[in-house]
């Protein structure tokens, strides 16, 4: 069985103006990384981009849906939203949404680093 996923491989082309982009297999899907921060995930060949309180309203306004999964009968929402379909047609649009996701990942990363142990 191959670990290759054409949709995930295509994301390098979609985000060609936002390099470096890499992917890593995880939890039955893929994590999408820019500068070593996870900016997205792919589940069931749907791209979800990282969001936070700052960027989530922009995703909602664009008609994007939050990433949710159900475990043991409980639905969990994660801080990722589906990517706007326009990113697949326009590299500049993909770059802008990728930067939003990267900035959310940076904000999340800085909050995590500041947590007391």
The verdict on residue 1 lying in a domain is no
Count structural domains, the chain: 1
pLDDT computed for residue 1 by the predictor: 40
pLDDT confidence bin for 13, thresholds 50/70/90: very high
| Number of helices (H), then strands (E), in the chain | 3, 6
* pLDDT tens column, 42-85: 999 999 999 999 999 999 999 999 999 898 999 999 999 999 99
Using alpha carbons only, give the angle 89, 93, 95 rounded to the nearest 5 degrees.
115
Pair of tokens at residue 107: 């904000």
- pLDDT of residue 115 exceeding 60, the answer is no
Q: Say if pTM beats, i.e. exceeds, 0.85.
A: yes
* Long-range pairs, 104-112, Cβ under 8 A, ≥24: 104/39, 104/50, 104/51, 104/52, 104/54, 104/55, 104/79, 105/34, 105/37, 105/38, 105/39, 105/50, 106/37, 107/52, 107/54, 108/50, 108/52, 108/79, 109/37
Pair of tokens at residue 95: 């770059």
Domain holding 38, by residue range, is 6-114
Domain at 21, CATH number: 3.30.1460.30
- 11, 39 in Cβ contact below 8 A? no
């Amino acid at each position: 069985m191959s670990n290759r996923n054409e949709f995930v491989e295509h994301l390098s082309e979609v985000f060609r103006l936002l390099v470096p982009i890499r992917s890593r297999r995880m939890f039955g899907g893929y994590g999408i990384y820019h500068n070593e921060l996870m900016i997205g995930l792919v589940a069931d060949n749907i791209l979800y981009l990282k969001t936070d309180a700052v960027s989530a309203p922009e995703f909602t306004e664009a008609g994007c849906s939050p990433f949710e999964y159900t475990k043991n009968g409980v639905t969990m929402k994660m801080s990722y939203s589906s990517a706007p379909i326009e990113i697949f047609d326009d590299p500049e649009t993909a770059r802008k949404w990728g930067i939003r996701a990267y900035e959310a990942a940076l904000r999340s990363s800085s909050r995590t680093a500041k947590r007391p142990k």
